[in-house]
């Protein structure tokens, strides 16, 4: 394989420098310390404990629970967590998915089915590689009995689906979390190995380099900033009659996809919101 183009190599070198810096100053697992696991309305305490255990297995420590339906500190959860009770004890409990993603720059949802309409599906390797580049990011898992609703999915930029046997595609919650954690470990180790064993990065695939260029390092707007912009956009589109109350959710989903793909910065979101405010002012002062 030929050498990676110079622009790709610069991006890769910069990213590997960050990884090596983390490795020297922290333990081996801290390269994914920017990633949180978010569980929505988890019902089973044993599932919750198993998730905590597998998170510790792979060095993840941040667990966020959205409106949990079980006791995270009950006997069943702690029994299944084994040597990871601190994951449950330190878990943050919130009442909505936006609250769990408020300071995240990127969020990926998991889906067990492919009947998710217009939500773009990607494989775990590509999706999680993209997720790792953000300063703070999240992997979102739905309730055991229903997964994630379309309204919950819209708070995430991408959706990943773990490839399984189509004759029996249902995975246990802790299994899904474990597979994603393992994939993160593989991606992290692969990047480190390439950086340590290939000084010129001649073995770096063009696709990985392109993925790094697309996502690194960008001053990304948080999900909270984007959600505020989307709400403002919806209000304007309703005002001018571009969408109607019964079509707003469907039409706004397309706008979300457009803006999420753009990796907007805080200043770009501020500019868009300024345009929307000015539009509101102008329409209010029309004769």
- Whether residue 133 contacts residue 216, with contact meaning beta carbons closer than 8 Å, is answered with yes
Average pLDDT over residues 160-178: 91
pLDDT reported for residue 220: 81
C-alpha radius of gyration, the chain, whole number: 21
- Whether residue 107 contacts residue 101, with contact meaning beta carbons closer than 8 Å, is answered with yes
Q: How does strand 121-122 pair with strand 92-94?
A: unpaired
Residues 6+ positions from 55 with CB-CB distance below 8 Å = 37, 61, 63, 84, 87, 177, 181
Mean pLDDT of the residues in the chain:
81
* Better-scored residue on pLDDT, 204 or 264: 264
**Domains recognised in the chain with CATH numbers:** 6-194 (3.40.1280.10), 223-284 (1.10.8.590)
Lowest mean pLDDT among 15-19, 61-65, 258-262: 15-19
Collapsing DSSP to helix, strand or coil, 92 comes out as strand
Name the token pair of 23: 């490795």
* Better-scored residue on pLDDT, 202 or 238: 238
Q: Is the pLDDT of residue 119 over 80?
A: no
pLDDT reported for residue 53: 97
Average pLDDT over residues 202-218: 47
Lowest mean pLDDT among 86-100, 185-199, 204-218, 235-249: 204-218
Does the predicted TM-score (pTM) go above 0.85? no
pLDDT reported for residue 7: 47
């Amino acid at each position: 394989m030929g050498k990676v183009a110079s622009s790709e190599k610069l991006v890769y070198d910069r990213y590997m420098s960050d990884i090596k810096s983390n490795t020297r100053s922290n333990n081996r697992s801290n390269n994914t310390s920017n990633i949180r696991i978010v569980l929505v309305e988890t019902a089973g305490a044993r599932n919750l404990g198993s998730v905590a255990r597998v998170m510790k297995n792979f060095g993840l420590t941040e667990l966020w629970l959205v409106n949990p339906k079980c006791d995270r500190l009950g006997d069943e959860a702690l029994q299944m967590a084994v040597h990871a009770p601190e994951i449950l004890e330190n878990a943050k409990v919130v009442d909505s998915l936006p609250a769990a993603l408020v300071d995240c720059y990127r969020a990926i949802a998991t889906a067990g089915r492919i009947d998710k309409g217009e939500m773009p599906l990607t494989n775990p390797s590509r999706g999680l590689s993209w997720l790792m580049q953000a300063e703070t990011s999240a992997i979102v898992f739905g309730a055991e009995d229903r997964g994630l609703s379309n309204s919950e999915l819209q708070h995430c930029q991408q959706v990943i689906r773990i490839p399984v046997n189509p004759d029996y595609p249902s995975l246990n919650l802790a299994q899904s979390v474990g597979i994603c954690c393992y994939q993160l470990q593989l991606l992290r180790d692969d990047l480190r190995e390439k950086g340590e064993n290939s000084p010129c990065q001649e073995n770096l695939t063009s696709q990985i380099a392109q993925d790094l260029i697309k996502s690194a390092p960008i001053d990304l707007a948080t999900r909270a900033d984007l959600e505020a912009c989307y709400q403002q956009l919806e209000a304007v589109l309703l005002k001018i009659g571009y969408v109607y109350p019964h079509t707003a959710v469907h039409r706004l989903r397309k706008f979300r996809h457009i803006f999420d793909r753009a990796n907007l910065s805080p200043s770009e979101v501020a500019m868009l919101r300024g345009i929307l405010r000015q539009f509101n002012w102008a329409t209010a002062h029309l004769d």
